[in-house]
Structures are given as structure tokens and as C-alpha cells.
Amino acid sequence: MNKKGIIIVSAVVLVVVGAFVLGFADSESAIGKIRYIFFAAKGEVANLGAKAPSNTPQLAAQCKENLKRIQRGKVGAGEKRGNNIGGVTWEEVCTAMFPTEVQLKSNPARLEQMKPKCPCGGTYQLGTMQEMPKCSIGATQGSSSELTHAIAGI
Ligand SMILES: [Zn+2]
């Protein structure tokens, strides 16, 4: 039996045992609860097993496009603060990328939603103003440039 199966069966067993202990195993509501927990557990397991798609030239191109958008955001942030040296924050970059978005300031949850996401599950690092932003996938998946998640400029 695989891991998913074990987790689902364990959840069901726990609920059935719990229901007997509480003395309402034969009531409709207990069965409803068991079904609910069974499907909830199944959903959780499906989420745990969800993996970002593996790299393809199309997805790598999307990631490169994100990196270019991020870099343009960095340039915009630099223009706004009047210099392009040193570090830069996601708040500055996203504010430059989404000028009509008024809820970004000191709002980490909203910022997280607005940040571009690598389609293969890589994580982005802004780098300093002098560097290009990077994706954690980078060029590790083979040397083929069409699978590389990195840019040299915009
Ligand atoms: Zn990427």
C-alpha cells in the first residue's frame, strides 16, 4: 500500500474508532462525518502530492519572461527612489510592477499574491540593483539554454 493509502486508511480508522468510543457509530451523522473526513483527508493528500510541473522550453520561457518583468520592476523601483544601487525589496519592486495596486504597502500576504511565480516551482531572488534577478532552478537542469531559468538582461 502506498503512503496516500496509509494516510487515508489511518484517518478513517481513527474516525470509526472515535465514533464507537463516543457511542454514536450507528447514527447517520457519524457516517456523514466519516465520509466528510475521508474526503477531506483525500483532498489533503492530493495537495501534499501536488508537484510543480517539470521543466519544458515553454515553462522556462515563461520564467524568463517573469524575470524580465521583475528586472523592469527593479529599474522602476530605482527610478522611484532616485538611485539604482544596493538591495531592493519585493515591496518596492511590486509597487513599481503594479502601480495601480494600492494594497501592497506593509501587506505581506498581498505582496505574496502579486509576486510573479516560477511555473516550475522555483523561487525568485531579487538580487541587488546591479544584478539580474534569479530563479532557483537557474541553469541546473541541463545546459540547454531553452531550459534555463535565467536572464542576462532585459
Ligand atoms: Zn523558474
Q: What SS3 string covers 75-143?
A: HHHHHHHCCCCCCCCHHHHHHHHCCCCCCCCCCHHHHHHHCCCCCCCCCEECCCCCCCCEECCECCCCC
Centroid of ligand 1 to alpha carbon of 76 (angstroms): 22
Ligand 1: distance of its center to the CA of 68 in Å?
A: 12
User: Domain for residue 30, yes or no?
Assistant: yes
Q: Measure 37 CA to ligand 1 centroid, in angstroms.
A: 36
Distance of CA 39 from the midpoint of ligand 1 (Å) = 33
- Name residues with Cβ closer than 5 Å to ligand 1, which is an ion: 63, 118, 122, 135, 137, 149
What is the tens place of the pLDDT at every residue in 26-42? 556 655 655 655 556 55
How many domains is the chain partitioned into structurally?
Answer: 2
Q: Mark whether 69 and 130 lie in a shared domain.
A: yes
CA distance 10 to 53: 29
Supply the pLDDT for residue 139: 85
Nearest-angstrom CA–CA distance, 32 and 18: 14
Flag whether 152 is in a domain: no
CA of 137 from ligand 1 middle (Å) equals 5
What residue numbers bound the domain in which 29 lies? 3-49
Q: Are residues 10 and 63 in the same domain?
A: no
The predicted model scores a pTM of: 0.67
Of the pLDDT bands very low, low, confident and very high (cuts 50, 70, 90), residue 102 is: confident
Q: How far is the CA of 143 from the centre of ligand 1 (A)?
A: 15
